[in-house]
Amino acid sequence: MPDKLGPLLKRTLDRLSFASSDEDMLAIASITETESNEKAVPIVVKIPTIRPIPQESWRHYRSRVQNELAPLQTLMQQTMNLDPIPLITANSLQVMATKDQIEMLTRQAQVRKMELDPLLPVTLLDDCASDLLLRSFRTKHPVLDGTGVRVAVLDSGVDTQHPFLKVFHSVSTSGESVELPGQHGTHCAGIVASRDSVFSGVAPGVDLLNIKVLKANGSGRHTNITQGIDAALDEGAQVISLSLGFNHLPVWSSGGHGWSCINGDCPLCTAVDNAVTLDKAVVVVAAGNEHDRAEALRNAGEGDEFDTELACPGQARKAITVGALTKQTFALASFSSRGPTSFNESKPILCAPGVNIRSTIPAPRDGNNQPVPNPQREDLFNRDSGTSMATPFVAGVAALLIQRQTLAGQPWTPEGVRQELLARGVAALSGLPNEVGGGRLSLGKF
* Domain harbouring 333, CATH code: 3.40.50.200
Beta-bridge partner residues of 322: 286, 350
User: Which of these three, 83, 101, 118, is where a domain ends?
Assistant: 118
Helix (H), strand (E) counts: the chain: 13, 19
pLDDT of residue 38: 56
- Give the active site residues: 155, 184, 388
Residues 90 and 129 grouped into a single domain:
no
pLDDT of residue 89: 95
Three-state DSSP state, 195 = strand
Q: How far apart are CA 74 and CA 89, in angstroms?
A: 19
Residues 91 and 137 grouped into a single domain:
no
CB atoms within 10 A of CB 263: 11
For residue 102, count CB atoms less than 10 angstroms from its CB and return exposed for 0-12, middle for 13-18, buried for 19 or more: buried
Residues 180 and 278 grouped into a single domain:
yes
pLDDT of residue 351: 97
pLDDT along the chain (446 residues), means of 10: 77 62 39 51 92 91 95 94 94 93 91 88 66 90 96 97 96 96 96 92 97 95 96 97 96 92 94 90 96 95 96 96 93 95 96 93 87 88 92 97 96 95 94 95 93
Question: For the stretch 329-345, what's the b/e string if a residue is b when 16 or more beta carbons lie within 10 angstroms of its beta carbon?
Answer: ebebbebbbbbbbbeee
Residues 205 and 288 grouped into a single domain:
yes
Residues 344 and 357 grouped into a single domain:
yes
pLDDT of residue 101: 92
Three-state DSSP state, 94 = strand
Number of structural domains (the chain) is 2
What pTM was estimated for this model as a whole? Answer: 0.90
Beta-bridge partner residues of 332: 325
Structural domain for 24, as ranges = 7-118
CB 308 within 8 A of CB 341: yes
